[in-house]
Each structure stands twice: as C-alpha cells, then as structure tokens.
Structure 1
Amino acid sequence: MEGLNYIAASIAVLGSALAAAYGNGQVISKTIECMARQPEMAKELKSTMFIGVGLIEAVPILGVVIALLLIFL
C-alpha cells in the first residue's frame, strides 16, 4: 500500500501542473487579444494579468504540498 501514496502524490503534482499551465495559457492569450483590440488599455491589462497569473501559480504549490503530505504522513 506504500506505493499507492507515491502514485497519488505524482497524480496530484501532475494534475496541478497541467491545470496551472492551461490556466496561464488562457489568461495570457486573452490578455494579448485584449491588448490587440485596445492598445490604450495595455498597462491596466498587463497588471491585471500578472495578478491572475500569480493566483494561478498557487495551484501547483498546493499540489506539491498535498503530494508531500501524502508521502510523509
């Protein structure tokens, strides 16, 4: 049963990394699209994008924490 903890931990990290990559891609893609449509809003859009990307990057960190809990507890 010890091996199942490692499999569960790897699935947690993989899932969170894939979700964050997809989310970051969507946020950046839509921001660039909006900048192309309204160049005068580029500064505001860029700052909002960085906040969104920062929040999305919390997902893999939580995945790693869950993986560590599964392995060591």
Structure 2
Amino acid sequence: MKLRFATLLLCSLLLSSSFLEPAMADDDSSYCSNNCGVRCAKAGVQDRCLKYCGICCKECKCVPSGTYGNKHECPCYRDKLNSKGKPKCP
C-alpha cells in the first residue's frame, strides 16, 4: 500500500512539473518581449536591438529599465560580450 502511494505521488509530481515549465516559459517570453520593446523603443535599428535584447533577457532573466544605460540593474546583462569584446546587450 505504501509503495503504491509513493509511486502515485511521484508520478503526479512529475506530471505537474511538466505542465508548469511551459507556463513559466510563456511568462519569460512575454516579460522579455515587453521589456525589450521598451528598451529598444528609441533604437536606430530596432530589429537588431530587439533580437539581442531578447537573447540577453532569456539568458539573464532581466532587462535594465529605460531606453539606454541603467545596466547596473542587471549585471549579467551588462557583462555579456560579443566575440569582439564589445557589449552584446543593448
């Protein structure tokens, strides 16, 4: 009886975690698209800004406020560099 209960509990935990992960991913993508839209609002090349901001947001889970600067709010975002050693995130 205890073994059956433990097996049922384990299966229910595994199933519930598989349903929660996609929901959290949707939250991250809407968070990133909303905040990157604000961040890139005044960018000269918006499509490129949105692309790199989105990449950085997904990896760092944050986007600095405003359209420029404030990178101290998100050290991961601030410290990402491209292959040429320049800041990757707008």
Normalised TM-score (structure 1): 0.55
Residues 32-52 of structure 1 show CA distances to partners (whole Å, capped at 9, x for unaligned) of 2333x2131522342131243
Q: Is the 8 A contact 2:32 2:57 kept in 1?
A: yes
Asked if residue 38 in structure 1 is aligned to residue 45 in structure 2, the reply is: no
- Equivalent residue runs for 1:24-63 within 5 Å: 24-35=29-40, 37-40=41-44, 42=46, 43-53=48-58, 55=59
Count, aligned residues: 54
Identical amino acids, percent of aligned pairs: 7
Distance 1:52 1:30 in 2: 9
Q: Structure 1: which 5+ runs fail to align?
A: 57-73
What is the CA RMSD across the aligned residues, in angstroms? 2.3
Task: Give the structure, 1 or 2, with the largest relative contact order (CA under 8 Å, sep 6 or more).
Answer: 1
In terms of Rg, which structure is larger? 2
TM-score computed with the length of structure 2 as normaliser: 0.47
Which stretches of structure 1, 4 residues or longer, exceed 3 Å deviation after superposition?
A: none
Structure 2, gaps ≥5 residues long? 61-90
